[in-house]
Amino acid sequence: MTTAASRHSDRRISPVFVGIVAVAAVTGWATWTGFAEQPGVAVFLFVTAAWIVSLCLHEYAHARTALHSGDISIGSKGYLTLNPLKYTHALLSIVLPVLFVIMGGIGLPGGAVFIERGRIRGRWKHSLISAAGPLTNALFAVVCTAPFWLGALDGVPPVFRYALAFLALLQVTAAILNFLPVPGLDGYGVIEPWLSYKVRRQVEPFAPFGLIAVFAVLWIPEVNGWFFDAVEAVLGGLGVEGFQADCGQWLYRFWQGTPEFCVAQ
């Protein structure tokens, strides 16, 4: 029997998530104040922690939408606690996305919330559940870039601006890539309910390889160039100049060396 107390515990924010937010806050402060002797180290920790926070929110959005759409099993799985350790595939949801950021500056969350689709009725609900994650990344990007599109950068240290710009770049790449109609990604989940049963069965075997295929295609120079041109256009619309995100990435990958103009205050 499910009690009110157990239902409340299923939705209580996890100390693990609170700890990650605390790391983001402290390292964000260190980035802002220049407290760290190596600004790149502070930027690395701040962006990584904030990126993990966004990954948790991405998965939470899927779970919360599924709960309100009819899957009442979501709470018992721990998805509403924002604890990344509760995800079905912590490797896909946390480890690989962080590695993608380090290797190529690409924000690419992986699927990790197991939703009992049989409990949900209505194609629109299924589509909305899939769309909720990347929409969260899009909202995160808007929030990160608020100082830019509001023209409120006065007094914001350059290094912190660059860190925010790079974090926004990750959110934009995550939103765009996840909305691709590729099996295994959220974009395919949006259109899947509207496909015929025959098509869904034919596509299903390819779903486990969709994420790998997208990442592999992005290593093709021409495709990579087109993709980041689109990302830069979106960031430009949000008030972020290309060099700001570039400096943020240079600072993030501090072990490779950072151009002097990116650390000049």
Q: Which two tokens stand for residue 165?
A: 């710009």
3-state secondary structure of 51: helix
Q: What is the Cα 97 distance to its own chain's centre?
A: 8
Residue 204, judged by CB atoms within 10 A of its CB (0-12, 13-18, 19+), counts as exposed
Q: Is 192 a catalytic residue?
A: no
Residue 69, judged by CB atoms within 10 A of its CB (0-12, 13-18, 19+), counts as buried
Which residue do the tokens 């960031």 mark? 235
Distance from C-alpha of 112 to C-alpha of 90, rounded to nearest angstrom: 7
8 Cβ contact list (under 8 Å, min separation 6): none
15 CB neighbour count, 10 Å cutoff:
11
Contact of 132 with 190, CB cutoff 8 Å: no
Catalytic pick among 59, 192, 204, 241: 59
202 CB neighbour count, 10 Å cutoff:
11
Residues noted as catalytic: 59
